[in-house]
Structure 1
Amino acid sequence: MKKIIAVISGTMICIGSYAQTQQQIVLQGTITGDLKGHNKMYIYSRTYHDSAVIDNGRYTLHIPFTEPVYLMLVPEYVLAERQMYSPFGILMDKPVTYTVTTDVAKGMSASVVKGSEAVEVLQAYGKQKSAAWNSITGELKKEYGKPWMEETDPRYAAFETKQKSLQQKYLVPLLQKLVKDHPNSYAAVFSLGEAREMMSSEQQERLYAGLSPNMQKTKEAKEFQQFTQGIKNSAVGRQVQNFTLPDEKDQSLAFSQFKGRYVLIDFWASWCSPCRQSFPHMREVYQQYKDQPFDIYSISIDKSKSDWLKAVAQENNPWKQALDNINIAGSGFAITGVPTTYLISPEGTILMKEVGFNPDGSGEIEKKLAALFGGKVKTAEKPAKEEGKVIEAMPMVPIQ
């Protein structure tokens, strides 16, 4: 449970407002080049999967439309040949026909997508972002010799500060211009998530205010506004406002029930492999301090209740569980990646926050628990190469 920087691309996989029924998206694709005998195109999200046969370089997919979605495309040949692949997604905000033109030699990322105003705006914005990132990585490489750095490097703090300043220089103006030029476009709403890591709460408030009244009413924009408030609510020293969530038996669980005890709030998801990897050691922590005034409280950000319940049963953790059905992760704690943990005092005050997970027990929260209750958690033996290795958080992305 060690703090790391979760790099958030801001890519939202599924957005849902303005529900409609009995409508359909048609996706027509043209792909040229050598498919190496593999003739399928797959489309997917975490909860949606389909495929189409590529016949003479063409394929068609029919997608039920109830709300705007962001779905990923991957050709069969990429999987069969085990090629390097960057996920390629398409924002489909209306039940219209979208076209995708791909050249195998250039890769999926170079595909041209047409269909609605939003998808075309987003595609142009994506090219601008790519150029901006090239500038950022170029400057970082020039100063530090490489465009990335491990947290254990003594230069990390300076590197992180430099990276954030470059994001302010190159990326923030692009997002601000996107909202200014297209305040009534889903492309603008879709891209709001990118502001969560690189913009101050004041900048985020101005970004939201720049949306049209119509876009401000969308679920995604409202959640973004809640997240901005969550930044303030989750500051160390702030008092946690009471909230109530359903447990795995659909019983209401109020946070006030933990009053008088130290609480480790653990935000996780069934699809988050680092979260699942963290549980064995968290069970060791719980075993060490369960007789102290201490509790663990796991809150899932899952969108699928069935997936959450399945994971809860598989893990069988001996502490309280709840499903976040009111976006407390955003409005109360400004979560950007999971696992994220908060240590709360018996009076309900936020003491510490960590993003990511360190299985060797050297996280700051564990040091605090040892100072509070004495003793050190006994951890299972691990290979020397894994000692001190931080398991990074996965971006908190509402994938459906």
Structure 2
Amino acid sequence: MKRIVIALLAALLYQGSYAQQQIVLKGTIKGDLKGYNKMYIYSRTYHDSAVITNGHYTINIPFKEPVFLMLYPEYIQAQRQMYVPFGILMDKPVTYTVTSDIEKGMSASVVKGSEAVELLQAYTKTKETAWKQVRETLKKEFGQPWMDEKSPRHVEFETRQKALQQEHLVPLLQQLVKQHPNSFAAVFSLGEAREMMSADQQERLYADLSPAMKQTKEAMEFHQFTEGIKNSAVGKKVKNFTLPDEKDQSLSFSQFKGKYVLIDFWASWCSPCRQSFPHMREVFQQYKDQHFDIYSISIDKSKADWLKAVAQENNPWKQALDNINIAGSGFAITGVPTTYLISPDGEILMKEVGFEPDGSGAIEKKLAELFGGAAKPGAKPAAATKTMKAVPMTPMQ
């Protein structure tokens, strides 16, 4: 009990000591901006900008908790140059400096400030070298460093890729956490483990964190995700959970008992999610009278954005906002859209990541098998004619 109290106090001191403070981001950018003198900074829930004067700019950011924000120069947008997203982890209300060169690209920028951002930058470079080894090996063995999901060798390719990640990338992340258990850089990097590490490996990774870091929101959500891997296995029974609907009324999953339920995890900012809804409405209309229902759960961090999207889509099934991280703790969601088909007695039957607009997805085939027939194809936008992959969830939105 004493250890738990100490850990909680440490976490509160870590988070509470920064209340009502701000981050100062000072940037220097070398090169000809061709008159496009703005620097944008953003995340899914934050947007701001600054004017670049004589190669310098300053952005003040209110600090409530650690953030990961992306920098986007106006000249790249104006000249339609290819942009590789460049983000900065800012875990403390201190001054961060960013030194960039137009000719080298934003990804070559040097960031200084807290220990965490500098540690993360060094780790990222080491990781890039490891990824290069993975890609070169895949190219040598398969003729290319990537493979389309519809390729007959895709399963073989994916298995080999995961093995190479275990060999080259997993040890780097394990070393980072073990050597820097009290750094937010270690906590931030945990998200990488969701795709390439087993549940047991993830548990050991979490165990290596310091007591204070274990109590951060990001670390606790990672720990919940590990539990979600176990909870969401096919054949498992869904544990009852309650979320608020768009009218702030409590919606319990037990209300769906006795029906086949398609649980749809989505977000207002997810284009494939929004594009999937017209066809999902067709599926709903076809099967709604056969003990079938759809339940959409949004992972939005902004309630206002979620409510706006709900109103715009006007879907004829129940909606809820995930304010307790059921996406992680119950279903181990790594990207949206992701759907689960649940049996009338609450058993997980299938999982599907992404969306097939032509009705050829595994879950739709199962529905046709259960109820007979197939979803009637309808008019779809040009953007929805091909398989749409899930949009990955970021560690910090």
TM-score where L is the length of structure 1 = 0.93
- Using the alignment, how far apart are the partners of 1:19 and 1:302 within structure 2? 27
Alpha-carbon shift at residue 36 of structure 1 (Å): 1.5
Of 382, 387, 391 in structure 1, the residue corresponding to residue 388 of structure 2 is: 391
- Using the alignment, how far apart are the partners of 2:94 and 2:132 within structure 1? 34
Instruction: Say yes or no: does 1:155 pair with 2:153.
Output: yes
State whether residues 44 and 71 of structure 1, in contact with CA within 8 Å, keep that contact through their aligned partners in structure 2.
yes
Cα 1:305–1:120 change in 2 (3 A) is: same
Matched residue, 2:131? 133
Of 94, 100, 103 in structure 2, the residue corresponding to residue 102 of structure 1 is: 100
State whether residues 275 and 338 of structure 1, in contact with CA within 8 Å, keep that contact through their aligned partners in structure 2.
yes
Of 292, 295, 299 in structure 2, the residue corresponding to residue 294 of structure 1 is: 292
Matched residue, 1:111? 109
Matched residue, 1:180? 178
- Using the alignment, how far apart are the partners of 1:137 and 1:232 within structure 2? 30
State whether residues 18 and 93 of structure 2, in contact with CA within 8 Å, keep that contact through their aligned partners in structure 1.
no
- Structure with the largest fraction of helix: 2
Alpha-carbon shift at residue 384 of structure 1 (Å): 10
Paired amino acid for 1:360: D
User: Which gives a bigger RCO, structure 1 or 2 (Cα 8 Å, sep 6+)?
Assistant: 1
Alpha-carbon shift at residue 381 of structure 1 (Å): 4.9
- Using the alignment, how far apart are the partners of 1:19 and 1:371 within structure 2? 57
Paired amino acid for 1:298: S
Alpha-carbon shift at residue 383 of structure 1 (Å): 9.1
- Using the alignment, how far apart are the partners of 1:58 and 1:259 within structure 2? 60
State whether residues 19 and 66 of structure 1, in contact with CA within 8 Å, keep that contact through their aligned partners in structure 2.
no
Stretches (4+) displaced over 4 A: 16-19, 381-387
Alpha-carbon shift at residue 47 of structure 1 (Å): 2.0
Paired amino acid for 1:244: T
Q: Deviations over 1:292-317 (max 9, x none)?
A: 01000000000111100000000000
State whether residues 275 and 384 of structure 2, in contact with CA within 8 Å, keep that contact through their aligned partners in structure 1.
no
- Using the alignment, how far apart are the partners of 2:17 and 2:64 within structure 1? 5
- Using the alignment, how far apart are the partners of 1:18 and 1:215 within structure 2? 14
Of 190, 198, 201 in structure 1, the residue corresponding to residue 196 of structure 2 is: 198
Instruction: Say yes or no: does 1:375 pair with 2:373.
Output: yes
Cα 1:104–1:43 change in 2 (3 A) is: same
Alignment of structure 1 residues 72-83 onto 2, 5 Å: 72-83=70-81
Size of the alignment, in residue pairs?
Answer: 384
State whether residues 46 and 399 of structure 1, in contact with CA within 8 Å, keep that contact through their aligned partners in structure 2.
no
Of 151, 167, 170 in structure 2, the residue corresponding to residue 169 of structure 1 is: 167
Matched residue, 1:248? 246
Percent of residue pairs bearing the same amino acid type: 78
Matched residue, 2:82? 84
- Using the alignment, how far apart are the partners of 2:383 and 2:281 within structure 1? 23
- Using the alignment, how far apart are the partners of 1:224 and 1:154 within structure 2? 34
Alpha-carbon shift at residue 153 of structure 1 (Å): 0.5
Alpha-carbon shift at residue 397 of structure 1 (Å): 2.4
Cα 1:380–1:232 change in 2 (3 A) is: same
Paired amino acid for 2:223: Q
Cα 1:108–1:383 change in 2 (3 A) is: closer
Matched residue, 2:141? 143
- Using the alignment, how far apart are the partners of 1:108 and 1:161 within structure 2? 33
CA RMSD of aligned residues (A): 1.5
Paired amino acid for 2:331: F
State whether residues 24 and 62 of structure 1, in contact with CA within 8 Å, keep that contact through their aligned partners in structure 2.
yes
Paired amino acid for 1:393: A
Matched residue, 2:27? 29
Alpha-carbon shift at residue 319 of structure 1 (Å): 0.3
Alpha-carbon shift at residue 19 of structure 1 (Å): 7.4
Alignment of structure 1 residues 247-396 onto 2, 5 Å: 247-381=245-379, 389-396=386-393
State whether residues 303 and 398 of structure 1, in contact with CA within 8 Å, keep that contact through their aligned partners in structure 2.
no
Gaps of 5+ in 2: 1-13
Cα 1:29–1:193 change in 2 (3 A) is: same
State whether residues 114 and 120 of structure 1, in contact with CA within 8 Å, keep that contact through their aligned partners in structure 2.
yes
Q: Deviations over 1:66-108 (max 9, x none)?
A: 1111111111111111100111111111111111111111011
- Using the alignment, how far apart are the partners of 1:162 and 1:24 within structure 2? 45
State whether residues 40 and 74 of structure 2, in contact with CA within 8 Å, keep that contact through their aligned partners in structure 1.
yes
Paired amino acid for 2:373: G
State whether residues 99 and 113 of structure 1, in contact with CA within 8 Å, keep that contact through their aligned partners in structure 2.
yes
- Using the alignment, how far apart are the partners of 2:73 and 2:346 within structure 1? 50
Paired amino acid for 2:320: A
- Using the alignment, how far apart are the partners of 1:385 and 1:293 within structure 2? 32
Query: Is the partner of 1:326 in helix, strand or coil?
Result: coil
